[in-house]
Amino acid sequence: GAGIVVITLPMYIIVIALLLSSITGQTGGTSLSFYRIYLIGGVVDMASLLNNHLLCILPAHGYYLDFYLSSIFIGQTYIAIAWGIRCAQVTTGTILALNRLTAVVFPTKFSQLWSSRNCMVANIVQLVPAICMGSFIYTSTFEYEVTWQGGKSCEFEDPEFERMYFSIASTIHTIFVFYIVINYGLVFRSFRKQIKQVLQLRNSSSIEKRRQENRLLYISIVIFVLE
């Protein structure tokens, strides 16, 4: 666990720094909104890594148990953050997919659709459902259980609430995944048509723009698959 954090955390920091550099270095273009959405996703992923390691893996192995067991609120907070982050990861993947769809299907209106104001709304949508999903955790009760490593982990105490919560979460995730699959199906269909048009025109600027959109599309697909 520690080895993964040592390797992965610096990578996240580098990626976030590069995204910030790309955002501050641009005043427009089709990639700016993509980078802003991806930046929020990168911060969320880094928070997930730290949350899992500090509030789950280490206590499960018996580290700083006095602090961890001092209040059930600490373990409950880990679960709230974990599920909130999971929701944020799904909404990030969905918004990135929508961003690529509008870039391919509505290229002339893309800048208007993804203006700074609308991009801010998209960033809010990335986070607000996650905050609500995580906050819902605090309406139930939890308990600490002994792990096989000799440490402690926080678990749901109310099985009815656990089933209800998992059912809601799985339903939301399933809907988002189905949408993303359909979304990328439409993207590839439109993408193939536009490639044929660009090849017929043989316009260097159009070809370069299409290559840029192609790279962003591949990045968003990789993010979706990894999530």
Contact criterion met (CB below 8 Å) for 78 and 56 = yes
Q: Which of 48-57, 101-110, 143-152, 208-217 is predicted least confidently?
A: 208-217
- pLDDT tens-place string over residues 154-213: 999 999 999 999 999 999 999 998 998 898 888 878 777 766 665 555 555 555 666 666
Give the list of residues 6+ apart from residue 183 with CB closer than 8 angstroms, or none: 94, 97, 98, 100, 101
Task: Output the six-digit token pair for 64.
Answer: 């700083």
Domain residue ranges in the chain: 2-226
Confidence of residue 136 (pLDDT cuts 50, 70, 90): very high
Confidence of residue 25 (pLDDT cuts 50, 70, 90): low
Specify the pLDDT at position 61. Answer: 86
The phi-psi region of residue 160 (left if phi > 0; otherwise alpha if psi is between -120 and 50; otherwise beta) is alpha
CA nearest to 98, candidates 77, 114, 85: 114
Provide the H-helix boundaries in 53-158: 58-60, 65-68, 72-105, 110-113, 116-135
Contact criterion met (CB below 8 Å) for 114 and 102 = yes
CATH of segment(s) 2-226: 1.20.1070.10
Specify the pLDDT at position 2. Answer: 62
**Is the CA virtual torsion 18, 23, 29, 35 positive or negative?**
positive
Specify the pLDDT at position 204. Answer: 54
Alpha carbon distance 75, 111 (integer Å): 44
- pLDDT tens-place string over residues 77-86: 999 999 999 9
Most confident listed range (17-31, 32-46, 104-118, 119-133): 119-133
